[in-house]
Amino acid sequence: MTTARDWLDRIRALKLDRPVKIMNVCGGHERSITSAGLRGALPEAIRLIPGPGCPVCVCPEEDVYQAMQLALQDRVILVAFGDMLRVPVNVPKGEVRSLVEAQAAGADVRPIASPTEARRIALENPDRPVVFFAAGFETTTAPVAAMLAEGAPSNLYILLSGRLTWPAVAMLLESEAPGFDALVAPGHVSTVMGPEEWRFVVEAHGLPAAVAGFTPESLLAAFWSVLRQIGSGARFLDNCYPEVARPGGNKTAQRMLDTTLEVVDANWRGIGVIPKSGYALRPAYAAHDARLHFPDHSAPGRRRAGEMPPGCDCARVVLGKLMPSECRLYGRACTPRTPVGPCMVSDEGACRIWWSGGVREPAKAD
Amino acid sequence: MCLAIPMRVESVEGHLARCQAKGVFRDVSLFMLQDEPVAVGDYVMVHVGYAIQKVAEAEARSAWELYDQLLAANGPGDSPPS
């Protein structure tokens, strides 16, 4: 097996005539890169950019607000993956600003680790409505779809904020300044959806791309692949995680996604609407759609609705336009203990990952 | 959140498997793998309580090694491990 050291030697031996920016779009990748210290180990000309890889970070502020109101006003049992509970909404000082604060205020908010737990809680509480606030990319949305396809109790409703990864990359590539020269595609999204989903990066935009797993070896293999493509002029979608991300992906999971959910235009917090980038329940599953069943608490005119918190640069961090430590708040007002923006809240947020990885100093933007 | 953890299948009952990783046991849904046979002793990648893919034992071992290193470096995060 080729070791991380071998891959580093191969990469260092490449002649790069200009700086190369490689974007990843997966919090798991960013965590491995940061934890293994790959940035420091690679030649300076290679810049690793954390891109849109955190579904919690882009979950619409309005959806978090709605989830809070369902728990506070409609007295539902609100269940969500633990990452969502501390994501702040924009409300005047002193008001409840996150699900965890709603819980402290007496609302029944419960963290869960699996859609099967949402079902179990609904079955155990047949007299109460249970709302599963589900944010996530394809890998996480597919199990939500599977749970629906298998059969959800009638008192279980889904507040779905599922997002697709590739449309955000497509949006960046179609913009005037994408900000990267090559893509490392996410391993577990590809496991479910199939690596082929990323062909458009190569075919429509002429950028090298490689699917990577989560070990330093797999990530370095992917970096080497795209760097070599840049050097040689060849362009193809490489797969450096073939043991898990197999051709075609998991067809059963895709069928469940397609049966229960449809792909719709969707809002990304602080970024705006990205065409065909979100999931919504199909009409056949309307009986489980929290958006149809409960009142809309969106409070027209609420100040900064939908936006990132004041001063927070999470939106630009998510798009790879700004490195986490270049944010004005990073390490000053915003730390994991007192997070201002979702990128410091979520385990998949680039700010949180950098902070855990030991980056404690705010940087000057270059 | 998009990180899946490999686990060994210890028992199977319908679409439900009892799985184990490094001494930790979890109930795992095989609903998304219902079109292929999953047997005791197989390894599956598990994400939020659902098996998303079968993998070889060697792949499971290298992933466990990696996650040990990540946990040692960062401590357990807020997210549930499955």
Q: How confident is the model at residue B74 (pLDDT cuts 50, 70, 90)?
A: low
Question: Average pLDDT of A28-55?
Answer: 96
Number of structural domains, chain B?
Answer: 1
Residue pair A340/A307 in contact by the 8 Å Cβ criterion: no
Structure letter (DSSP) for residue A70: H
Contacts of A332 by beta carbon, 8 Å cutoff, 6+ apart: A362
pLDDT exceeds cutoff 60 at A134: yes
**What is the spatial order of strands in the sheet that A130-136 belongs to?**
A109-112, A77-81, A130-136, A156-162
Whether B70 shows a pLDDT value over 80: the answer reads no
CA A87 – CA A56 distance, rounded (Å): 8
Closest CA–CA distance from residue A272 to any residue of chain B (Å): 22
Instruction: Please list, in sequence order, all residues whose beta carbon lies within 8 angstroms of the beta carbon of residue B6, skipping any fewer than 6 positions away.
Output: B21, B43, B44, B45, B46, B55, B59, B60, B63, B64
pLDDT of amino acid B78: 42
- pLDDT above 60 for A365: no
Return the amino acid letter for A317. Answer: V
- A356 vs chain B: nearest CA distance in angstroms? 6
In sequence order, the 6+-apart residues with CB closer than 8 A to the CB of A120 are none
Whether residue B74 and residue A31 make contact (CB cut-off 8 A), yes or no, is: yes
3-state SS of A83-129 is: HHHHCCCCCCCCCCCCHHHHHHCCCCEEEECCHHHHHHHHHHCCCCC
B72 and chain A: CB distance < 8 Å anywhere? no
B28 close to B7: Cβ distance less than 8 angstroms? yes
Q: Which residues of B touch A37 (CB under 8 A)?
A: none
Of A82, A214, A216, the CB nearest to B80: A82
How large is the average pLDDT for residues A62-75? 97
Residue B77 pLDDT > 70, yes or no?
no
Shortest alpha-carbon distance between residue B43 and chain A (Å):
11
ipTM above 0.90, yes or no: yes
Domain of B23, in residue numbers: 5-74
Q: What was the pLDDT predicted at B72?
A: 75
B19 inside domain: yes
Whether the model clears a pTM of 0.90, i.e. scores above it, the answer is: yes
Q: Quickly tell me which residue has 């390894």 as its tokens.
A: B43
Q: pLDDT tens digits for A311-328?
A: 999 999 999 999 999 999
Task: Say if the Cβ atoms of B73 and A27 lie within 8 Å.
Answer: no
Confidence of residue A363 (pLDDT cuts 50, 70, 90): confident
Check A139 against B4: CB less than 8 A apart.
Answer: yes
Q: Which residue of A has its CA nearest to B65?
A: A215
Q: What is the pLDDT of residue B38?
A: 97
Residue B57 is assigned to a structural domain of this protein: yes
Q: What is the CATH number of the domain that holds B50?
A: 2.30.30.140
In this prediction, residue B80 has a pLDDT band, given cuts at 50, 70 and 90, of very low
Confidence of residue A364 (pLDDT cuts 50, 70, 90): low
**Cα(A285)–Cα(A291) distance, integer angstroms:** 12
Cβ pair B70:A142 closer than 8 A = no
In a domain, B82, yes or no: no
A256/chain B closest Cα distance in angstroms = 8
Q: How far apart are CA A38 and CA A219, in angstroms?
A: 9
pLDDT in tens, A83-131: 999 999 999 999 999 999 999 999 999 999 999 999 999 999 999 999 9
Residue among A26, A115, A243 minimizing CB distance to B48 = A115
What domains can you pick out in chain A, each with its CATH number?
Answer: 4-56+166-240 (3.40.50.11750), 57-164+250-293 (3.40.50.11740), 314-356 (no CATH)
Distance, in angstroms, between A74 CA and closest chain B CA? 27
What is residue B2's predicted lDDT score, i.e. its pLDDT? Answer: 67
pLDDT at site B82: 36
DSSP class per residue in A285-325: GGGGBHHHHS-----TT-TTTTSPPTT--HHHHHTTSS-GG
Contacts of A120 in chain B (CB under 8 A): none
Please list, in sequence order, all residues whose beta carbon lies within 8 angstroms of the beta carbon of residue A111, skipping any fewer than 6 positions away.
A79, A80, A81, A82, A85, B80
Give mean pLDDT, residues B37-43: 97
- Give the tens place of pLDDT for each residue, A183-208: 999 999 999 999 999 999 999 999 99
Which token pair is B80? 């549930």
Q: DSSP for B18-48?
A: EEEETTEEEEEE-GGGTTS---TT-EEEEET
Judge whether B33 lies within some domain: yes
- What letter represents residue A101's amino acid? E
For A155-185, the pLDDT digits (tens) are 999 999 999 999 999 999 999 999 999 999 9
Half-sphere exposure of A3 toward its Cβ, with a 13 Å CA cutoff?
A: 3
Query: Chain A residue with minimal CA distance to B4?
Result: A188
Nearest to B82 among A83, A114, A346 (CB): A114
What does DSSP say about strands A156-162 and A237-240: parallel, antiparallel, or unpaired?
Answer: unpaired
Residues of A in contact with B63 (CB under 8 A): 213-215
Q: Write the residue in A32, A83, A253 that is nearest to B32 by C-beta.
A: A253
Q: Is residue B46 part of a domain?
A: yes
Contacts of A216 in chain B (CB under 8 A): 66
**A277 in Cβ contact with A164 (< 8 Å):** yes
Least-confidence region, from A331-340, B58-67, B71-80:
B71-80
Domain assignment present for residue B23? The answer is: yes
Across all residues in chain A, what is the average pLDDT?
A: 96
Read off the pLDDT of residues A296-355 as tens digits, 9 standing for 90 and up. Answer: 999 889 999 999 999 999 999 999 999 999 999 999 999 999 999 999 999 999 999 999
Share of chain A above pLDDT 70, in %: 99
Residue B41 in any domain: the answer is yes
Does residue B80 fall inside a structural domain?
no
Round the CA-based radius of gyration of chain B to a whole number and report it.
12
CA distance A325 to chain B (A): 18
Out of B4, B48, B66, closest to residue A215 by CB: B66
In angstroms, how far is the first alpha carbon of chain B from the final one?
9
Q: Is the pLDDT of residue A7 over 90?
A: yes
Residues of chain A neighbouring B55 (CB-CB closer than 8 A): 243-244
